[in-house]
A and B are shown apart, each in its own frame.
Chain A
């Protein structure tokens, strides 16, 4: 499923070709095709927004890229070194609530087999970067939604990944939480990381992304730069999105 990239596409951190996914639904296990040939190409250093209405297949696409689901057909090619150089924040993340933020990040570091000294330094660094130093030793069950989202981003960055996949990182956050997450994404962009994120909040996408792809009904129906999208519509990104989705 995840294969190394061929030489023609080395400039990309991620290429998805003809991705299809069929899932059985209901008692009679009727086969429903939720991805109908998704094609995506995310260049190194891009902040890439994957947009689309609910049920468009965004989360499924990301899950296949990460390896949580298997595609029925198609391929995912990574321009980075597999899971070792990829970070992932799931949608509505849930973490081990009996662990403190520090313990949780430490566990994630151990899953990447990071050497102890480096791991401890990295955990401290990330807690500072996401503004959770004061709550580092508090159990995750006591974290607010915004704090969970930030610790979720921190765990996605523990291995200093080149490709960061964030599934709905702003969903359910209050304005302060959204600003904090946006700052983190901006700092990732400034560090030259490739970021792909799903979002419904188009103003954030317009602010953060260099490129976008719009999915609907299991397919990418438009992809290009944010400037192209803005140039094609007088009503801003929101109007452009509505035009593409309804066309």
Chain B
């Protein structure tokens, strides 16, 4: 446990000290500030625009951090041969994969907490009332991104970092749309399309199930029991993905 913790802390240190991360966060904060302007030109919808645009910024920039860092997380260690030092010590491959994930999850928590709190206070200033739903939505975006991180780590053990990044983003987009695609194709008559959309729905994590952005802007009241159940599903999905990554990584030689 202490070995895994050492690797996790080191991963956190590595990613948090990365200058690129600072640049991405600054851009995200600028985009949230930009939503203040958008709110000012939306008559009677200031709060809604602020929340909507701000949460998209949190999601988008969180995704950039999650995917690009996750794709290079294990790859960089292999390419730069730091794994030689790690695996010549009593450290298991699965221990390494899970620890790297935990380290990045901690970095992502800091990034999303920063962006979420910034949006929360900016919205409070505009709407003159605090919205705890912004914080809940940010927490659920964090959960979605953790699943994307786990899937991207699996992909990075099989392919290049660039391709793993592209596929990671594809999984995120498909995870937002798979439920709607299934509903739409069920209305049609093509068995091939129906089968395909069902396959994608089963294979790709259903990230949309924990998306509460419509509730933040007051469109729908969230069904928290459903959100809790789907959150459990996403946690299980991430754990399975990490187990698969560990198995794939344990077959590698350096």
A residues bordering B, Cβ < 8 Å?
A: 63, 66-70, 82-84, 86-88, 90, 92-96, 98-99, 107-108, 110-113, 155, 159
Chain B: how many interface residues by the 8 Å CB criterion? 23
Selected interface stretch from B32-40, B78-86, B151-159: B78-86
* B86 neighbours in A (Cβ, 8 Å): 111
A30 to chain B, nearest CB (A): 17
**Smallest CB-CB separation from A66: which chain B residue?**
B88
Measured CA separation A107–B10 after assembly (Å): 8
* A11, B254: Cα distance in complex, Å: 30
| A113 close to B3 (CB less than 8 A) | yes
Interface residues of B in 66-116 (CB under 8 A from A): 80-91
CB of B158 to closest CB in A, whole Å: 16
- Write the nearest CB–CB distance from A171 to chain B, whole angstroms: 15
Q: Which one, A69, A99, A111, contacts B89 given CB within 8 A?
A: A111
B17 CB, min distance to chain A CBs, angstroms: 5
Docked-complex contact B80 and A111, CB < 8 angstroms: no
Whole-angstrom CA separation of A68 from B254 in the bound complex? 5
Smallest Cβ distance from A116 to chain B, in angstroms?
A: 10
Cβ–Cβ < 8 Å partners of B88 in chain A: 66-68, 83, 86-88, 90
Give chain B nearest CB distance to A118 CB in angstroms.
Answer: 13
Q: Which of B80, B82, B90, B253 contacts A84 (CB 8 A)?
A: B90
B9–chain A nearest beta-carbon distance, Å: 8
* Interfacial chain B residues near A70, Cβ < 8 Å: 253
Judge if B6 is at the interface, Cβ distance under 8 Å.
yes
Tell me the interface secondary structure of chain B in the complex.
helix
In the bound complex, residues from chain A placing their C-beta under 8 Å from that of B80 are 94
B82–A95 touching, CB < 8 Å = yes
A111 touches B253 (CB 8 A): no
- For B13, give its contact among A90, A98, A112 (CB under 8 Å): A98
Give the shortest distance, in Å, between B41 (CB) and chain A (any CB).
Answer: 43
Closest to A116 in B: B2
Could you show 18 A-B contacts with beta carbons less than 8 Å apart? A63-B254, A66-B88, A68-B83, A68-B88, A86-B88, A88-B84, A90-B84, A90-B85, A93-B81, A96-B14, A96-B82, A98-B17, A107-B10, A108-B85, A108-B89, A110-B2, A111-B90, A113-B3
Q: Which residues of A contact B82 (CB under 8 A)?
A: 94-96
Taking a contact as CB atoms under 8 Å apart, the answer to whether A68 and B253 are in contact is yes
Do residues A110 and B84 form an inter-chain contact, with CB atoms below 8 A? no
Please name the residue on chain A nearest to B91 by beta carbon: A111
Chain B proximity of A91: nearest CB distance (Å): 9
Residue among A92, A93, A110 with max Cβ neighbours from chain B (10 Å): A110
Q: Which residues of B contact A87 (CB under 8 A)?
A: 88
Residue of B nearest to A86 (CB): B88
- B residues within 8 A CB of A66? 84, 87-88
Minimum distance in angstroms from B112 CB to a CB of chain A: 22
Chain A nearest CB from B81 CB (Å) reads 5
Instruction: Say yes or no: B3 contacts A110, CB within 8 Å.
Output: yes
Given contact pairs A83-B90, A94-B81, A111-B6, enumerate 17 new A-B contacts (beta carbons under 8 Å): A63-B254, A66-B84, A66-B87, A68-B87, A68-B253, A83-B89, A87-B88, A90-B81, A90-B84, A98-B14, A98-B17, A99-B10, A107-B6, A110-B3, A111-B7, A113-B90, A159-B89
